[in-house]
Structure formats: structure tokens, C-alpha cells
Structure 1
Amino acid sequence: MNFYLQSFLIFLRIGLFTIGGGYAMVPLIESEIVDKRKWVSKDDFIDLLAIAQSAPGVFAVNIAIFIGYKLRKFPGALAMAVGTILPSFVIILAIALFFQQFKQYEAVENVFKGIRPAVVALIAAPCFNLAKSAKINRHTLWIPVVSALLIWQLGVSPVYIIILAGLGGYLYGRSASKKTNDDSSHPTKSPQP
């Protein structure tokens, strides 16, 4: 099957059957793109998630565009983005046309009440997978905890958190590299016999 058609259909299916928005799509996208097809490595996927999160716009569309662009430049980005957008567009259009007719039904309201907790789980699951992939340990656990608190409690924009984390990672890497170079430039003297 043509790559563009295949990628369009994958993202169309994910967009059609995912309730809860972009973050709920993450485990499905990861399963299809990383695990099944191995189009993108786990590390690249995590990097693309970070970029998609920090970019302006809708997260689901951003991740589709970044994955598509990485794989096949503009045509790949277009195929995956349209596949992601089309189901939501059609469903929202249908809901807008018929919403007034079925919104008062208790059964419809109960269905949405039942879906909400499942959506929370769909959003939480990729967080745990990302934590494992990011190799978070007891020394680095404070970073996501403090970041989450800054966002939830103080209303700090996630963009600033990502910029600070990137700057911190750069400085840490530079410091570790400098320390390694300093250690290798001063060899230890072996005792004289």
C-alpha cells in the first residue's frame, strides 16, 4: 500500500476512535508508529512529543505533522495531518447539526459521564510510559514533579517549562562534558617503583 495512503488511514482510524483529544491519542500513535511499524524510534517519538507539546496549535495535529514531516517531509505531514483532522471535523459537523435534537436525552448525558474517567486513564497511561522512556530515576524525579506543580498551581506556561528544561539539560550536558574532559586531561600518575 502507498505510504501516504497508509499513514493517512492510520491517523484517520486513530482520530476516529480516540475520545479525549490529542493526549489520548499518544498511546495509539506510539503503538502504530513506534511499536508495530517501527517508522520512528522510541527516543525520536519522545523528542517529537516534546516539540509538538511546545509548538502552538492543536497537539494531535502537531504530532501528526512532526511525525509525517520526519518520515516524508511535506507530503507525509499533509497525509497524517489530514488523517488526524478529518474524523474530528466530520463528527463535530454532525454533532453541530443534530445537537439540539439529542442533547436533552439522559442516556446521552450518561454516556458522556461514563466516558470521562476512561479518558483520564488514556491520558495518564502515556505519562507513565514517557517517564520510563525518559529514564526518570530518584535523582531526576523532582523535575517532572516541580514542573507539574508550576503548571497546575502557579499557572506557568508549559512553553516556559520546556525552555527551562532544555536550557537545564544543555547546561548539565555541557558541565558533564567539561568534567569528563578535565578528568581525561589530567591523567593520574602511577607510583614509581
Structure 2
Amino acid sequence: MNDRRKLHLSLFLVFLKMSPFTFGGGYALIPAIEREVVEKKRWLQVEEIADLFAVSGTVPGAVAVNSASFIGYRIGGVSGAIAALLGIFLPTFALMIVLSIFYVQFKDNPKIEAAFTAIRATVAALIAFAAIKVARSSIADFASGALAAVAALLLFTGIHPLWVVALGATAGILWVQFRGKKGKGPKIKEKEPVFDYMI
């Protein structure tokens, strides 16, 4: 098996391992992805994960599926995206079918209701933890911190998230142009190159 196939198999297995534990959706998956992709495999940096999740949340589809596809593509090209997508999708698909069957039969059981209540609380903690991790790698200065605060306030007003993302992107472009006129470059961290398997 050559290096490329090993990489694709590794991508498939990494996302296969994470997939059954993606309770709460894609954002709850961030800590697991960071641990596997950044800390263990060292395929990407934390900043890149934050960028990929930001893009995943702005396009149609499930965040977990989108992020797996983007990360797989970033690491292994089109075939890497397919490997990661299959890894994240297959176990979740099978698990949802099984859970749907059991949920219809036991949805009124007090123990099942209690279990789902506890799961919801745990998922809230996972998402909060993911938000803190992303914020630490994304907020580089006062301007980005202020932008994050404004975006949060806009979301609480009920504005569609797509508009918040669009406004954030526009504000970022304007801020970089403003800093350029002042003779200052944008505060962008240099990212190390990763695998060059793009096809």
C-alpha cells in the first residue's frame, strides 16, 4: 500500500472513530477533530481547523459532513475528501436508523427521556468548549474580538447567520484595507504547508 492510500485509509479511520460520538452536531465535534487531526496526527494547525469550520458553517449541509469533506480535501485532495466523508457518514447513518427504531418504541419511557435530557446538557458543554477553543485561535486582536462580540449580539437579535457571516467577511476585508492604508499588514498567522496530495 503506497503512502497516498495509507493517508486515505487513515483519514477514513480517524473520522470513522469520531463519527459515532458526534452528539450535538458538527460544532460538538470540534474538540475531537482538534485532538485527532491537530494533536495526534499533526495534519493541520488549530487556526486551519477554525477556518475550515467557519467555511463549513456558511455552506448548505450538515456542519460535521461539510467539515469532514473540507478537512479531507485539505489533507488528501478529492479522494481524501471522499475518504473523510465516508468515515463520518457511514456510522452516523447506521446509528440514526437504529436510534430511530428504538426511539419510536421507547420515546415515552421516563429513563429514555432522562437520558436525552442529560445528553442535551452534555452537548451544550461540548459546544461551549468548542466555542472557547475556536475563539482562542481566531481572536487575534481587539478588532477581531470586537467583531466576535458584535456578531454574537446580532445573532441574538434573530438575524440570519448567513448575513452575520457576510457582514463579518466584509468587515474583515475593510479592516485589512484600513490597516494597509496605515502602513500595517494584516495580523495573519503563517501556516505550515501540509500534504500536497491535491488532485
- TM-score, normalised on structure 2? 0.83
Q: Which runs of 5+ in 1 are unaligned?
A: 182-193
In 1: Cα distance, 2:137 partner to 2:101 partner:
43
| Aligned-CA RMSD value | 1.8
User: Which structure 2 residues correspond to residues 125-144 of structure 1 after superposition, within 5 A?
Assistant: 125-144=129-148
Q: CA deviation at 1:140?
A: 4.1
Which structure has the higher relative contact order (CA within 8 Å, separation 6+)?
A: 2
Identity across aligned pairs (percent)? 36
- Give 1:65's aligned residue: 69
In 2, Cα distance between equivalents of 1:45 and 1:174: 25
What corresponds to 1:179 in structure 2? 182
Provide the rounded CA distance (Å) in 1 between the counterparts of 2:181 and 2:104. Answer: 65
Aligned length: 180
Counterpart for residue 166 of structure 2: 163
Distance in 2, Cα, partners of 1:54 & 1:95: 28
The answer to whether structure 1 residue 25 and structure 2 residue 14 are counterparts is no
Kindly state the Cα deviation for residue 63 of structure 1 after the two structures are TM-superposed: 0.4
Superposition deviation, residue 105 in structure 1: 1.9
Alpha-carbon distance in structure 1 between the residues aligned to 2:168 and 2:103: 43
Structure of larger gyration radius: 1
Paired residue type of 1:33: V
Tell me the amino acid that sits aligned with residue 156 of structure 2: W
Match of 1:103? 107
CA distance in 1, matches of 2:129, 2:172: 25
Counterpart amino acid of residue 175 in structure 1: F
- Report the equivalent of 1:120: 124
Find the counterpart in structure 1 of residue 187 from structure 2.
Answer: none
**Distance 1:171-1:13 versus aligned 2 partners, 3 A rule:** same
- 2:47 aligns with 43
CA offsets per residue over residues 151-181 of structure 1, 9 Å max, x none?
Answer: 122x212222122111111111112112218
Aligned to 2:87: 83
TM-score by length of structure 1 reads 0.86
For the 8 Å contact 2:68–2:84, the answer to whether it is kept is yes
- Counterpart amino acid of residue 152 in structure 2: A
Q: 1:97 & 1:129 partners in 2: Cα distance?
A: 36
Letter in 2 for 1:58: A
